[in-house]
Amino acid sequence: MGIGQGALDDIIELATKKTPLLAGTTLAGNGHFQFELANGDAALRAARALLHESAESVWATTKAGTPLSLGARARIRAAAVWATNRATEVVASAYRAGGGSSIYAASPLQRRLRDVNALTQHFLVRNDTLTTAGAILAGQDISVMVF
């Protein structure tokens, strides 16, 4: 969520200063940019809310001394993957909006794009985890060592 929020902050700052080639206004004045920005902001807030709800549920269960069920673990893992995917989409959208300014090594958007894509490779938030979580939610037996 932090990488995604940072990308939104970076592109907002850039958008107020950058006037794309052949554009009559700054990037911030572009309707498509405004749509993408609002969509990214909503996606991050939804992902953050899902993670908070999931963490609160797990906390309440463990605080009560009840072991987490396989279904509860599947739901929190699915939430983590889903939130990571939303953050990755937000960063990619911000990177694209930055145009040529994003490609340089000094660009925070370039670094955020690299960092968020590296994160997606972690076994806890890889898309394969959704398949396993879905199998659990569907009542199927799973044969993974860690879940």
What structural domains and CATH numbers belong to the chain?
2-137 (1.20.140.10)
Per-residue pLDDT of the chain (147 residues; tens, 9 = 90+): 999 999 999 999 999 999 888 888 999 999 999 999 999 999 999 999 999 999 999 999 999 999 999 999 999 999 999 999 999 999 999 999 999 999 999 999 999 999 999 999 998 999 999 999 999 999 999 987 666
| Alpha-carbon distances of 7 from 54, 103, 117, rounded to whole Å | 24, 14, 13
| Sole residue written with tokens 């396993």 | 132
Q: Are 20 and 32 in contact (CB under 8 A)?
A: no
Q: Are 76 and 54 in contact (CB under 8 A)?
A: yes
pTM over 0.95: no
What is the rounded end-to-end Cα distance, in angstroms, of the chain?
22
Note the pLDDT of residue 48: 98
Q: Are 69 and 137 in contact (CB under 8 A)?
A: no
Residues contacting 19, CB < 8 A, separation 6+: 25, 26, 27
